[in-house]
Amino acid sequence: MRFMRAVTALEPGDHACLVYDDDARRDAVLRQFVLEGLARGQRVLCCPPTETSAVDDLQADGLAQFDAHDVYTDAGTFSVDYALGRWRTTLDELVAEGVEGLRAAGGPPASVTTADNAHALTDYERRVTELITEHGVVAVCVYDVRTTDPRTLLGVVDAHPTVLYAVQGDPRLVVEVREPQSLDLRGSIETATIGTLVGPLMEAIADERDVELDLRDVDFIDLAGLRLLVEAAALLAGDERKLVLVGSPSWLSPILEMAELDTREGLVLQ
Amino acid sequence: MSAGLQHEAVFYDGVDDFVAATLPFARDAVAAGEPLIVVEPSAQLAALREAMGEDAAAAEFFEAADWYLSPGKAFKAYLGWVTAALDRAPRARTIGEPIWPTDWTNAVAEYAHYESVYNVIAAEATIWSICPYDVGALPTEVVEHARATHPYVRTADGVEQSADFVDPHAYCSHLAARLPEPVNARSFPLTANLGALRASVQAEASAAHVDPRRAAELLIAVHEVATNALTHGAGDASARTWVEDRTFVCEIEDRGPGLSETTAGYEPPEGDRGLGLWLARQICDLVEVQSRDRVTRVRLHVKR
């Protein structure tokens, strides 16, 4: 997995995940991505996850905009085969027309990025990677850390070969990267602050060692935070690695059990 | 007998009578190869186990004091046992009796709620549950709850329908109506900055001598219930804390679409739906829900 700061560095065949916590920042990246494609004479497909976005005002022959609900949901329900089929058909048609240089940007609406769809969305994004490689497309999928279930977020980020951040972060959680795989956390891990942690955590997971989080200065973890930790541990366990929580509070273990998050593969509490 | 839940109250007076009232049921379970769990106060537990003789090896026995830690915890434990039992047999049986907290009015009402909502949540499960009540030792109020929350009453002459049984939704609504107004409550604003609310609740809990670890756990319940209120409420959410005889209480109030006064927090969560309140019922010593007239109140109690 590669971590990038600039959307302009993407090349054909790249499938990037843009993680954001601010609509304006997301739109700035999307606009840059779309404008760059248009400037290069490429065909750009865009389906932002929200009803309005900063690319709405762009009018260009090369730009086609779609409603994310139409692309991702069939009769209101997310379906991997349906969404993948939509992209495949569109790309096949454009290739058959002889269009060269394709780029796509979009993301599922908040109604899709729920815990229930964690596995389906991860599976979908893995298959999109194959589709994109096959068609030589450059693609950016956007996910809002504020509305995406933490388990779903880690799964979909992991399914993308490239990750970009437009995360402002939240001052209530300070993350110090002591070493790439070792983070010191201070403050509270909760829905509002998860965006601050996701980036460094995914970079740590991309390292090849066990990941260590020092929680000694963490005063609170909510359900979303617990899910994030459990999901990160599960990702590491798939690689026979561990998530070590140093200085974990005494209530953590019973709460994980109460929240039925006790499938703790890969999780070590110290 | 119907295919779903069979939920019976059994009234007895003293341990010998308890054994006489429950032994045939327990023996039948073992003879039929049906999983059986017995959760009773020590004296009843020991007496039935002894009376069952060799059959006791086929049943599971638990002390009521270890099992009925709170209505939410006991409910989860039963559902867990039942789910596992029904994986290995087409029908399972339970004999269960809490140590009624007769000197804690709110908890008695919540255990009555628990008995009532059991009829709703376990309706489709092929479970035969008998709930013994020691009429010689229990106050009339508890026996009245039993008659209202069990569709059937078992006597020496057989099983009959309870004439006093009340529809669970109506009964839970009746129980929720009785929540008293607190005395000396402190109010706190509920904004998206939940850290401020947590800090206030923590300070109040500490002043009320709540064990620090329990206070830390309570904060998770408060945070999740407050998140629900902010997410689903229509603004105007607020929080209050106060101290009762046994407990420190944090109440979250909102004016959203409301919760079911019957099933809220008792229905096992599906994915994320209902997880916050379910978790609150696992964490807290008592959770009370009142949701009517466009106002929803969730009261979270921890012992102090």
Residues B154 and B217 in one domain: no
Residues B82 and B162 in one domain: yes
Query: Chain A within 8 Å of B223 (Cβ-Cβ)?
Result: yes
Q: Give the CATH number of the domain where residue B56 resides.
A: 3.40.50.300
Express as a percent the part of chain B with pLDDT over 90.
90
Which residue range is the domain that position B44 belongs to? Answer: 6-176
Closest CA to B250 of B279, B283, B277, B287: B287
Residue pair B192/B229 in contact by the 8 Å Cβ criterion: no
Q: Which value does ipTM take for this structure?
A: 0.87
Closest CA to B125 of B167, B164, B63, B80: B80
**In CATH, which superfamily holds the domain spanning A173-269?**
STAS domain (3.30.750.24)
3-state secondary structure of B227: helix
Asked which of A113-122, B73-82, B141-150 is least confident by mean pLDDT, the reply is A113-122
Express as a percent the part of chain B with pLDDT over 70.
98
Q: Do B195 and A188 touch (CB under 8 A)?
A: yes
Question: Is B63 a domain residue?
Answer: yes
* Burial class (CB within 10 angstroms; exposed 0-12, middle 13-18, buried 19+) of B66: exposed
Query: Chain A within 8 Å of B202 (Cβ-Cβ)?
Result: no
For the cut 90, the answer to whether the pLDDT of residue A60 exceeds it is: no
* Helix A223-237 with A194-206: angle, nearest 10 deg: 10
Cα–Cα distance measured from residue A228 to residue B69, given in angstroms and rounded to the nearest whole number: 29
Residues B116 and B248 in one domain: no
Residues B97 and B203 in one domain: no
Q: Considering chain A, tell me which residue range(s) the CATH 3.40.50.300 domain(s) occupy.
A: 2-166
CA distance A231 to chain B (A): 14
Nearest CA in chain A to B193: A192
Residues B203 and B284 in one domain: yes
pLDDT of residue B296: 95
Residues B83 and B140 in one domain: yes
Q: Helix/strand/coil (H, E, C) string of B60-104?
A: EEEEHHHHCCCHHHHHHHHHHHHHHHHHHCCCEEEEECCCCCCCC
CA end-to-end distance (rounded Å), chain B: 45
Residues B197 and B167 in one domain: no
For the cut 90, the answer to whether the pLDDT of residue A62 exceeds it is: no
pLDDT of residue B271: 67
Residues B66 and B207 in one domain: no
Q: Which phi and psi (to 5°) does residue A140 adopt?
A: -125, 125
Chain mean position to CA A37: 22
Residues B92 and B128 in one domain: yes
Q: Do B219 and A220 touch (CB under 8 A)?
A: yes
Q: Do A258 and B282 touch (CB under 8 A)?
A: yes
Q: Do A222 and B224 touch (CB under 8 A)?
A: yes
Per-residue pLDDT, averaged over B80-105, amounts to 95
Q: Do A222 and B220 touch (CB under 8 A)?
A: yes
Which of B131, B156, B176 is the last residue before a domain boundary? B176
pLDDT of residue A1: 67
Q: Do A255 and B283 touch (CB under 8 A)?
A: yes
Question: Is B30 a domain residue?
Answer: yes
Strand order, beta sheet including B127-134:
B59-63, B36-40, B92-96, B127-134, B6-12, B152-155, B158-161
Question: B282 contacts in A (CB within 8 Å)?
Answer: 258-259
In terms of average pLDDT, the best of A40-54, A97-111, B236-250 is: B236-250
CA end-to-end distance (rounded Å), chain A: 28
3-state secondary structure of A104: strand
Q: Which of residues 133-192 of A touch B (CB under 8 A)?
A: 149, 172, 188, 190-192
Per-residue pLDDT, averaged over A238-261, amounts to 91
pTM equals 0.85
Tens digits of residue pLDDT in B232-246:
777 689 999 999 999
Query: Chain B within 8 Å of A262 (Cβ-Cβ)?
Result: no
Query: Chain B within 8 Å of A116 (Cβ-Cβ)?
Result: yes
Residues B134 and B196 in one domain: no
In terms of average pLDDT, the best of A166-170, A177-181, B125-129 is: B125-129
Nearest CA in chain A to B279: A259
Which of B148, B176, B204 is the last residue before a domain boundary? B176
For the cut 90, the answer to whether the pLDDT of residue B14 exceeds it is: yes
Cα–Cα distance measured from residue A262 to residue B256, given in angstroms and rounded to the nearest whole number: 32
Q: Could you give the number of structural domains in chain B?
A: 2
pLDDT of residue A99: 87
Question: Is B181 a domain residue?
Answer: no
CATH for A2-166 is 3.40.50.300
CA distance B220 to chain A (A): 6
Instruction: Tell me the average pLDDT of chain A.
Output: 89
Biggest CA pair distance of chain A: 62
* Burial class (CB within 10 angstroms; exposed 0-12, middle 13-18, buried 19+) of B257: exposed
Q: Give the CATH number of the domain where residue B275 resides.
A: 3.30.565.10
pLDDT of residue A173: 95
Q: Considering chain A, tell me which residue range(s) the CATH 3.30.750.24 domain(s) occupy.
A: 173-269
Residues B17 and B125 in one domain: yes
Residues B245 and B291 in one domain: yes
Q: Which phi and psi (to 5°) does residue A122 adopt?
A: -65, -45
Q: Helix/strand/coil (H, E, C) string of A180-206?
A: CCEEEEEEEECHHHHHHHHHHHHHHHH
